[in-house]
């Protein structure tokens, strides 16, 4: 030994190249995060291949299988093999091509990524070839390659995603959530290519079947018939850019952002900036917290764009954002004005629009003066009206004011006797029916006044009913049996495909809540009974509104699925203002409200009643 220094050791070099399959797995993380990422990549490849018929098949929300079958141009044997190499692409040759891209793909990463994290089977044939080729590849290793009889086009199946990366597999969400991501990606591609036939089957059931047609037809096929005759065409052309597409009439605006699509050169993009431009164009035509539908296509020279910003390419950089913003805004404004839809707004239909009407429309002078002369106006505009209302902390002591009706009375009234159907009730003339205990008074067909010798409560019937339903549904979720009322005739409802996917997720919970609801084939459900507490008639609208409300809560991580359903249903099913209630119904409503665990607010924290103490009233009058 030349050196005797004991603490000196020769350390080996430590840097090594990663084996290809591991490098690929790491790189794949950028491109394939979940089954829906593969859906997007495979659908885009099929579009790029010039197919006019593209079928998507998924099993187990894409976790077991994502397969795309197209009738595009197919691949040669060599290309089929090459396609799985990283950075292998037929779509660009040099860096300049990046700025003239006409295809959806260009990175040459998708198939390599998929092959690194799943088992892949490719079957493909070009029109000019007699036989096709079959390739089976997993973990980036080719297992089988052989000739096969095939139709012209390609079929690529991705099986058991992340079978070799268990940590990633564990990160996948529930089937319901993953399926929703898949539907989103499917819609984004299908919307942009109405000239291509698309279908989507999930676990053997066809969810979408989109015949070739116009953009307008495609929008209605995807988003549902409710948009039929409710779309306004947007179309402007300049030398710099073109825009075309549709916006929904203001009355179709929803509480959720769901139905909003921007495409730049036929590529779906997310842009809060351009969304703002559209919202600005709608201005005060829609309520502040609602979202108009739009599907807008902006075409401009790719030289003015950089689509290379993000691997999944949903973000985009414009050379001049401000021009695009101004253009989008004025195009939409112009379209809305041209179709002069403002006067056709139906304010009776939607409470939120009604509210908007009251808030944002200046009251005419005439109306103002007539209101001002009414005594009610004077009462409510008095400076000290704030004293009139108890402060909130005292509301808890509702028991001070309210003593439930006598036992005899409670027995006479079946819970849930009030009905949500405004039309079938007639106001009982006062004194027509002897009422045990207090006579209740309904104000504006919206409020109920309950008095006793300590003062009175002003109950908001909608909020009160919402609280009652919420607690009942919560109990039902915990296993308390719920009464169902059979429908006289079964009602079938057909939903937009994406809503049908969502409703299928909720069916079992809705059954627990007393709905007799079953899937009934394609996007259709049959309702044979509803919870005894909710009214019948209009089941379709009720379900659609419930779904809408549910989606509204969907982004709210703090609510569980059950909480979301319970809240949505109770909000949608509560009796509305303007519903005339009988004495019996008002009594039932008040009794049930004060039998609730938390009677004083709705689940969302809106007060259900205000309490007015007699002694406060006396004080106000100097007594």
Answer yes or no whether residue 40 interacts with ligand ADP by CB under 6 A. Answer: no
539 binds, among ligand ADP, Mg ion, none (CB under 5 to 8 A by kind): none
- 232 near Mg ion (CB under 5 A): no
Interface with Mg ion, residue 105, by CB under 5 A: yes
Compare residues 108 and 415 and give the one whose CB is closer to ligand ADP: 108
Site string for ligand ADP, 78-107 (x = CB under 6 A): -----x----xxxx-------------xxx
Among 24, 154, 202, 570, binds ligand ADP (CB under 6 A): 154
Q: Which does 594 bind (CB under 5 to 8 A by kind): ligand ADP, Mg ion, none?
A: none
Q: Which is nearer to ligand ADP, 46 or 117 (CB)?
A: 46
**Using rule CB under 6 A, residue 76 touches ligand ADP:** no
Q: Which does 579 bind (CB under 5 to 8 A by kind): Mg ion, ligand ADP, none?
A: none
Q: Which does 562 bind (CB under 5 to 8 A by kind): Mg ion, ligand ADP, none?
A: none
Identify which range of 39-47, 261-269, 442-450, 567-575 contacts ligand ADP by CB under 6 A: 39-47
Using CB under 6 A, which residues numbered 108 to 147 contact ligand ADP? Answer: 108-112
Stretch that binds Mg ion, among 30-38, 99-107, 294-302, 383-391 (CB under 5 A): 99-107
Minimum distance between the CB of residue 105 and Mg ion, rounded to whole angstroms? 3
Q: What is the separation, in whole angstroms, between the first and last Cα of the chain?
A: 112
Question: Which strand ranges, in their side-by-side order, compose the sheet holding 516-519?
Answer: 484-494, 524-531, 516-519
In the set 24, 25, 37, 45, which binds ligand ADP (CB under 6 A)? 45
- CA distances (Å), origin 262, targets 93, 113, 181, 186: 28, 27, 17, 15
Q: In whole angstroms, what is the distance from residue 447 CA to residue 442 CA?
A: 6
Question: Residue 284: CB partners within 8 Å, gap ≥ 6?
Answer: 356, 360
Q: What is the DSSP letter of 50?
A: T
Residue 305 backbone phi and psi in degrees, to 5 = -130, 155
The piece of 6-14, 68-76, 265-273, 424-432 that touches ligand ADP (CB under 6 A) is 68-76
> Which token pair is 332?
């939409």
Residues contacting residue 91 through CB under 8 Å, at least 6 positions apart: 48, 97, 101, 103, 105, 106, 108
20-49 footprint of Mg ion as x/- string (CB under 5 A): -------------------------x----
Query: CA 200, 309, 111: angle at the middle one, nearest 5?
Result: 45
8 vs 130: CA distance, rounded Å: 68
CB of 270 to ligand ADP, least distance (A): 20
What, of ligand ADP, Mg ion, none, does residue 107 touch, CB below 5 to 8 Å by kind?
ligand ADP
Taking alpha carbons only, the member of 524, 555, 562, 497 closest to residue 182 is: 497
Residue 231 interface partner, choices Mg ion, ligand ADP, none, CB cut-off 5-8 Å depending on type: none
Q: How far is the CB of 110 from ligand ADP (least distance, A)?
A: 3
**Shortest spacing between CB 193 and Mg ion, in angstroms:** 15
Q: How many residues bind ligand ADP (CB under 6 A)?
A: 23
How many Å apart are CA 294 and CA 291, to the nearest integer? Answer: 9
Nearest residue to 264 (alpha-carbon basis) of 305, 293, 224:
305
Between residue 313 and residue 352, which ones bind Mg ion under the rule CB under 5 A? Answer: none
Window of 73-81, 199-207, 247-255, 277-285 that interacts with ligand ADP by CB under 6 A: 73-81
Region from 11-19, 97-105, 303-311, 527-535 binding Mg ion, contact rule CB under 5 A = 97-105
Position with the least CB separation from Mg ion: 105
| 29 token code pair | 């993380």
How far apart are alpha carbons 441 and 581 in whole angstroms? Answer: 10
Among 58, 63, 66, 70, binds ligand ADP (CB under 6 A): 70
Neighbours of 389 (CB within 10 A): 14
Helix (H, G, I), strand (E, B) or coil at 437: coil
The nearer residue to ligand ADP, 79 or 494, going by C-beta atoms, is: 79
Three-state DSSP class for 167? helix
Given the complex with ligand ADP, which of 126 and 249 has the nearer CB atom?
126
Report the partner that residue 610 touches, choosing among Mg ion, ligand ADP, none (CB closer than 5 to 8 A by kind): none
C-beta of 70 vs 592, nearer to ligand ADP: 70
**Residue 68 vs 215, nearer CB to ligand ADP:** 68
609 by Cβ neighbours in 10 Å (0-12 / 13-18 / 19+) ranks as buried
CA 508 – CA 486 distance, rounded (Å): 18
Q: Which H, E and C letters describe 358-388, residue by residue?
A: HHHCCCCHHHHHHHHHCHHHHHHHCCCHHHH
Cite the beta strand spans of 276-416 per DSSP E: 294-300, 305-306, 317-318
Name the nearest CA neighbour of 107 among 32, 12, 190: 32
Which residues sit at the interface with Mg ion, rule CB under 5 A? 45, 105, 110
User: Which residues lie near ligand ADP (CB under 6 A)?
Assistant: 41, 45-46, 49, 70, 72-75, 83, 88-91, 105-112, 154
């Amino acid at each position: 030994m030349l050196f005797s220094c004991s603490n000196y050791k020769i350390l080996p070099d430590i840097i090594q190249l990663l084996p290809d399959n591991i490098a690929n797995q790491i790189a794949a993380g950028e491109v394939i995060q979940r089954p829906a990422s593969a859906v997007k990549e495979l659908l885009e490849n099929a579009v790029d291949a010039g197919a006019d018929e593209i079928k998507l098949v998924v099993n187990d929300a894409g976790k077991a299988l994502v397969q795309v079958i197209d009738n595009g141009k197919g691949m040669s044997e060599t290309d089929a093999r090459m396609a799985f190499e990283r950075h292998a692409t037929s779509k660009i040759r040099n860096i300049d091509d990046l700025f003239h891209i006409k295809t959806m793909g260009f990175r040459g990463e998708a198939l390599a990524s998929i092959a690194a994290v799943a088992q892949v089977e490719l079957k493909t044939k070009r029109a000019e070839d007699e036989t096709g080729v079959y390739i089976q590849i997993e973990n980036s290793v080719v297992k089988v390659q052989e000739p096969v009889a095939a139709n012209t086009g390609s079929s690529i199946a991705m099986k058991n995603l992340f079978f070799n990366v268990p940590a990633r597999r564990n990160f996948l969400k529930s089937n319901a959530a993953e399926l929703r991501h898949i539907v989103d990606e499917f819609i984004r591609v299908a919307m942009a290519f109405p000239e291509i036939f698309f279908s989507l089957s999930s676990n053997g059931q066809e969810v979408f079947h989109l015949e070739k047609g116009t953009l307008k037809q495609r929008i209605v096929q995807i988003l549902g018939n409710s948009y039929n005759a409710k779309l306004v065409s947007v179309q402007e052309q300049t030398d710099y850019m073109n825009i075309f597409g549709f916006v929904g009439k203001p009355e179709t605006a929803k509480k959720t952002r769901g139905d909003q699509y921007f495409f730049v050169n036929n590529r779906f993009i997310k842009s809060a900036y351009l969304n703002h431009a559209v919202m600005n164009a709608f201005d005060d035509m829609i309520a502040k917290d609602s979202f108009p539908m739009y599907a807008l296509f902006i075409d401009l020279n790719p030289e003015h764009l950089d689509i290379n910003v993000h691997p999944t390419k949903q973000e985009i950089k414009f050379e001049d954002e401000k021009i695009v913003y101004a253009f989008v805004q004025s195009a939409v404004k112009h379209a809305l004005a041209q179709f002069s839809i403002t006067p056709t707004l139906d304010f009776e239909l939607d409470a939120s629009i009604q509210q908007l009407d009251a808030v944002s429309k200046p009251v005419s002078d005439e109306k103002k003066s007539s209101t001002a002369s009414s005594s009610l106006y004077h009462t409510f505009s008095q400076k000290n009206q704030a004293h009139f209302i108890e402060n909130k902390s005292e509301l808890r002591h509702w028991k001070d004011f309210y003593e439930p009706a006598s036992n005899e009375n409670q027995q006479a009234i079946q819970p849930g006797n009030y009905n949500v159907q405004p039309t079938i009730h007639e106001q009982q003339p006062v004194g027509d029916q002897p009422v045990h205990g207090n006579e209740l008074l309904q104000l504006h067909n919206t409020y109920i006044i309950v008095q006793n010798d300590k003062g009175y409560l002003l109950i908001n019937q909608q909020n009160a009913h919402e609280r009652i339903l919420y607690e009942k549904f919560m109990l039902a979720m915990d296993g308390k049996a719920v009464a169902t009322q059979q429908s006289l005739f079964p009602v079938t409802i057909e939903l937009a495909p994406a809503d049908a996917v969502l409703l299928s997720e909720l069916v079992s919970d809705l059954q627990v809540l007393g709905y007799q609801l079953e899937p009934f084939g394609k996007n259709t459900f049959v309702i044979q009974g509803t919870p005894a507490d909710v009214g019948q008639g209009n089941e379709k609208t009720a379900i659609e509104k419930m779904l809408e409300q549910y989606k509204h809560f969907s982004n709210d991580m703090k609510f569980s699925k059950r909480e979301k359903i319970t809240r949505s249903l109770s909000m949608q099913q509560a009796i509305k203002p303007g519903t005339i209630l009988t004495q019996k119904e008002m009594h039932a409503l008040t009794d049930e409200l004060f039998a609730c665990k938390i009677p004083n607010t709705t689940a969302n924290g809106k007060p259900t009643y205000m309490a007015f103490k007699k002694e406060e009233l006396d004080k106000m009058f100097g007594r």
